[in-house]
Structure 1
Amino acid sequence: MQTFNADNGDDGAVTLKQLRAQLISSLTDAGIETAEADTEWIICEVLSLSRGALRLPTTLEAPVSAIFEGRIRAHAADRATRKPLQYVLGSAPFRNLELSVGEGVFIPRPETEWVTQLGIDALCRRDPLRNSISQPTGQGAHGLRQQEGQPLDPLVLELCTGSGAIALAIATETDSLVWTYEKSVAAARWAAKNIAKYPTGRVQLVREDIAQLLHTPQLPALGGAQPQPGSIDLVITNPPYVPSGEIPEQPEVRDYDPEMALYSGADGLDLIRTIAVIAERWLRPGGAVVIEHTEQQGSRVREILQQAGLMDPHTHRDLTNRERASTAHKPAD
């Protein structure tokens, strides 16, 4: 019979099936709606199993050693306090990435994966005569294509990066060079850790308030490029957009997500107003901006983008048919 032990000869007195049932019950009692899935993720993390393998009858009947049982129960107890599962496990999946996360950084959400795709799609639609090729070239970590001394790689400015999720997804899925900004010291540490985990050589983390982009004359050098205002192909962001008076009910969000990553003034749009001005300043003619927001904010975000001098503002529905992101372009020459 399969056993899960820690090489100490202790085959354990509890089976995986029994342990799974006990933890599902305790997490359910703690008010966690995803108790079954969370229990399985915890067990799989500790035992290095896939969820498919966990559900096999031979696996469920296997005894678990006291050491592994203790680790699993400790994680479950942590989760029962309503600490987010991603914090408990220390990681969060995002597109093709497994990002390191913990207290002090916003946990990337599935809807932001879709927002990232909006940005990648915008890059793929660019005019090749305007430095528009965004498909991988297999030319190594930098892969900088040159034509008459000018970089042809797409240039991307990502704002409010948090864990670095959007920046790293774009850098690993396209040929883009990505400058990514984060004001929070704690969040920037997690972003730096993830950038080191996926060393593409295509991401430059800037630990500054994005308001600096209203005045700074150029971005730091990266991959042979040092963009100036009017040269960026894509500005993309999942900024704080929760109105300051709308405190989330879910404990995992209210008590653990950093306030700096959630709230942005009375209507939640303070930072988006700044981002629209930054986008107009830094985008090249024809360049695109992509902004995530709540499903109630689409019309106001479109107004803000238009007031900043951007054209064709459009709000997009996500896979659940909610208006969760808006885009616009800088007028072409």
Structure 2
Amino acid sequence: MEELSAVRHKAIAALADAGVPSPGVDVDLLLCHVLGISRSELKLRELRGDSFEASHREEFTQLVAARRTRIPLQHLTGVAHFRYLELKVGPGVFTPRPETETVVQLGLDFVVQQALEAPNCIDLCSGSGAIAAALASELPGSKVWAVELSDDAIQYTKANCLPHQVTVLHQDATTLPEDLEGIMDLVVSNPPYIPPNAIPREAEVRDHDPAMALYGLGDDGLQIPRAVAGQAMKLLRPGGYFVMEHAEVQQDSAATMLREAGFTQVSGHEDLTGRARATCGYAPHR
């Protein structure tokens, strides 16, 4: 029976040979998934020189083989980690990215700065529900809505949001009920925004994230974001805050888009890698 350490290093080499960007992390997470343990327990077992149980060999081998074909790690484990949450994900839903965590933080900072005790927040184009669930879990007393159109993604939106008492709406984010207009303190959105000619280089994104969650339509990829910005203006109360994620190259056009929609004090923000990631603005006092 092989030692766990040897199995781990062989798997890392196999993923690295296939061009997987983070083979060490991926192998550790696959091992934890198969063994049902934490990463700290995995490290402890490796340091002790524990063996890798033969009963887990076939499942782990199949998962490594699948990851070599660039099937997303999150589709293999069924979970994605986002801020303080473990979310359910899989085929048919956009896998939440670490950079979107900074987008959530912009919204949280606004609520704290305004000292809002029971803010109304809404996540447009919610997908997995990552943004809505994070807001609800980190803002006690808040009322949060999540809006998602996709029939495939909505099961994940509900699974991740309903435990946090988020109201989930299965409909187009650009045509919402009138009774929601003018009551929101915060609108956050990570809409589809990739231009039609900008095919993602990463196989995990290009081949496995749903096109509906990627491409924003129009020559610049901002047709859907423009409609979302217009909807956000209707939803926000005077002085409310809008946060929209976009591509790095869309920084200037996103700012123009928000100003044209009527937002004031428009500002761009970078993620933790220093890339332009979001643009924000305030609904004017009418």
* Shorter-chain TM-score above 0.5: yes
1:285 to 230, 238, 243: 238
Q: Which residue in the other structure is 1:123 paired with? A: 111
Deviations 1:28-84 (A, max 9, x none): 221113112111111122113333332347656222222111221121111111001
Between the aligned residues of both structures, percent identity stands at 41
Q: How many residues align?
A: 284
* 2:101 aligned with 1:113: yes
Distance 1:58 1:300, change over 3 A: closer
1:49 to 18, 37, 62: 37
2:171 to 188, 196, 208: 208
Partners of 2:181 and 2:24 in 1: CA distance: 50
2:186 to 214, 229, 234: 234
Is residue 5–residue 46 contact of structure 2 (8 Å, CA) maintained in 1?
no
Deviations 1:141-184 (A, max 9, x none): xxxxxxxxxxxx21112101111100000001102111111010
* 2:148 aligned with 1:182: yes
Partners of 2:46 and 2:225 in 1: CA distance: 53
Task: Report the 3-state secondary structure (helix = DSSP H, G, I; strand = E; otherwise coil) of the residue aligned with 1:178.
Answer: strand
Q: Which runs of 5+ in 1 are unaligned?
A: 1-12, 134-152, 219-227
Task: Report the 3-state secondary structure (helix = DSSP H, G, I; strand = E; otherwise coil) of the residue aligned with 1:243.
Answer: coil
Is residue 17–residue 60 contact of structure 1 (8 Å, CA) maintained in 2?
no
1:27-176 alignment, distance < 5 Å = 27-56=15-44, 59=47, 61-126=49-114, 132-133=116-117, 153-174=118-139, 175-176=141-142
Q: CA RMSD in A?
A: 1.5
The Cα of 1:115 is off from its aligned counterpart by 0.3
Task: Report the 3-state secondary structure (helix = DSSP H, G, I; strand = E; otherwise coil) of the residue aligned with 2:76.
Answer: helix
TM-score computed with the length of structure 2 as normaliser: 0.95
Segments of 4+ in structure 1 off by > 4 A? Answer: 57-60
The Cα of 1:204 is off from its aligned counterpart by 0.6
Opposite residue 172 of structure 1, the aligned amino acid is S
2:199 to 247, 250, 253: 247
Partners of 1:20 and 1:238 in 2: CA distance: 36
Task: Report the 3-state secondary structure (helix = DSSP H, G, I; strand = E; otherwise coil) of the residue aligned with 1:63.
Answer: coil
Task: Report the 3-state secondary structure (helix = DSSP H, G, I; strand = E; otherwise coil) of the residue aligned with 2:122.
Answer: strand
Opposite residue 166 of structure 1, the aligned amino acid is I
Q: Which runs of 5+ in 2 are unaligned?
A: none
Higher helix share: 2
Distance 1:57 1:310, change over 3 A: closer
Q: Which residue in the other structure is 1:259 paired with? A: 211
Q: Which residue in the other structure is 1:191 paired with? A: 157
* 2:234 aligned with 1:270: no
